[in-house]
Amino acid sequence: MNKKELNDLKKNFDDKSGFFTFNRVLRAFVDSDKNVVFKKHSLLGVLPSEEQELITVTLRKGLSGTLGKNLTEYNFPDSEYEDGGSQSILYRNLKTKFEDEKDLEDYLKMITANIEYTSTFVIIAAHCTYTIFRRDKNDERADQTNDYNFILTVLCPVEIGEDVLIFDDDANNICLIPHKSRVISRSPTDAFLFPVLTCGDPDINAVLCYTAKPKEPNKSLVKDVLGCETIFTPVAEKEVFGKVLSDVVGKDLDYTLITKINEKIEEEIKEHRFDSKPVAIDDVKLKDILTDVGVDDKKLEKVHDTFTETVGKKPLTATNLVTPKTTIAIPDITINIGKNAADKVRTSVVGGRKCLVIDLDDPNVVINGLPTTIELATSFSAETLTSSAPAEADTDGEDTDDYDL
């Protein structure tokens, strides 16, 4: 599923759009022991208008975020196509449009029996139809349409409402209202859409999963419920990318090289910002980037094998590999450097010690919110400053200091 397809679906995700229809909606309450204590399915239109609106808003949030972070596509393994497999259960419910009781029971059991949730939660799912207009060779809308039928499922946590103080007009008094209602969150923690769209056509071989926490996705949903293989999280992608760079470049991976690599990937993202799919970095693209920043040819020979052994065959998402600020961290000191100030920092040797040198165009600086002036040192000559290896610094302080440039 690409960005354009996803954005078009989000934009038209409403009965009022004229291209979208909610066929049936399923709601189920699951207790802490994973028992389905309530379930009901009906046409969305028969519910009170306020309830319809809340359900629509909650479902739409299951498509929020960006591809490669909150939203990730997974392919079903062969085993899930067999009877009782997740793909088989989802496909049957797709065809029966949430009208077959046995298929619905299998669907709810697929979730409740396998998901790792420690508290109560609510399942809201909708069988929907979205009318897609075909495009001609000039990317103009054609008269031909294609109905995309899909199931969107969101999982919402349930909490006990807090006691509140209110002003009672009749009693002319401020009083306590004990709140014991179980409040269903409007913001799902997890969601999944089946089937996905691929080049304008439904693809029953994949599912799109949403997570509210990209850094800590619910692996149980992906692996245990849907039976798919988990892939790297955004944080993990950055970690394995760092390992690849360290293994390939070795001790030459210094401040200057790291910032240049970051800049090259940012250029790649900017150049392809209008592409339908997220910009990816594979071994070939990484080799091109390292060539451009001046890495030795002998080291470049290791890129393919190192990338394959560490990452695998699937490329990394470029937006997960860059940071708006370069961070230099040593014990007790952390320095954050904005992209426009990267050239103001360098490593040097001062009086025989390795140091991090920061150019100050203006000696007036702010420390802990207070304006002050940094006096320029005159106790050493320019000859004492020479190029050095990656930055190291010393500090006698006990506390950690953070600096932003």
Q: What is the pLDDT along the chain (405 residues), one digit of tens a residue?
A: 888 889 989 998 988 878 899 999 999 999 989 999 999 999 998 999 999 999 999 999 999 998 888 999 999 999 999 999 999 999 999 999 999 999 999 999 999 999 988 789 999 999 999 988 766 666 565 666 788 999 999 999 988 777 778 888 888 888 877 776 777 888 999 999 999 998 888 999 999 999 998 888 888 999 999 999 877 778 888 889 999 999 999 988 888 888 899 989 999 998 888 876 788 899 999 999 999 999 999 999 999 999 999 888 888 889 888 887 778 887 888 888 877 777 788 878 888 888 888 887 777 788 778 888 776 554 444 444 444 444 443 434 444 445 444
Q: Which domain holds residue 377?
A: 325-404
User: Are 274 and 397 in the same domain?
Assistant: no
- State whether 14 and 137 are in the same domain: yes
pLDDT at 87: 97
Q: Which residues, 6+ apart, have CB-to-CB distance to 392 below 8 Å?
A: 330, 354, 355, 356
Residues 292 and 249 in one domain: yes
Same domain, 316 and 332: no
How much is the pLDDT for 92?
97
pTM greater than 0.85 (yes/no): no
Where among 266, 286, 320 does a domain terminate? 320
Residues 69 and 144 in one domain: yes
Contacts by 105-112 with C-beta closer than 8 Å and gap 24+? 108/28, 108/36, 108/39, 110/86, 110/225, 111/153, 111/155, 111/225, 112/30, 112/34, 112/35, 112/36
Residues 6+ apart with CB under 8 A from 368: none
User: Considering its fold, how many domains does the chain have in total?
Assistant: 3
- 140 and 11 belong to one structural domain: yes
Domain boundary among 320, 345, 379: 320
Residue 41 shares a structural domain with residue 80:
yes
C-alpha angle 66/71/73, rounded to 5°? 130
Q: Are residues 222 and 288 in the same domain?
A: no
Nearest to 151 by CA among 80, 204, 229: 204
How crowded is residue 206: how many other Cβ atoms within 10 Å of its Cβ? 19
Mark whether 199 and 167 lie in a shared domain. Answer: yes
Q: Can you tell me the distance from the alpha carbon of 395 to that of 405, in angstroms, rounded to the nearest whole number?
A: 19
For 10, list phi and psi in degrees, rounded to 5.
-60, -45
Q: What pLDDT is stored for residue 188 in this prediction?
A: 94
176 and 282 both lie in a single domain: no
Q: Of 189, 215, 231, which residue sits at a domain end?
A: 231
Residue 375: its pLDDT value, please?
A: 66
- The one-letter code for the residue type at 107 is Y
8: exposed, middle or buried (Cβ count in 10 Å: 0-12, 13-18, 19+): middle
Answer yes or no: do 315 and 387 share one domain. no
Asked if 128 and 42 sit in the same domain, the reply is yes
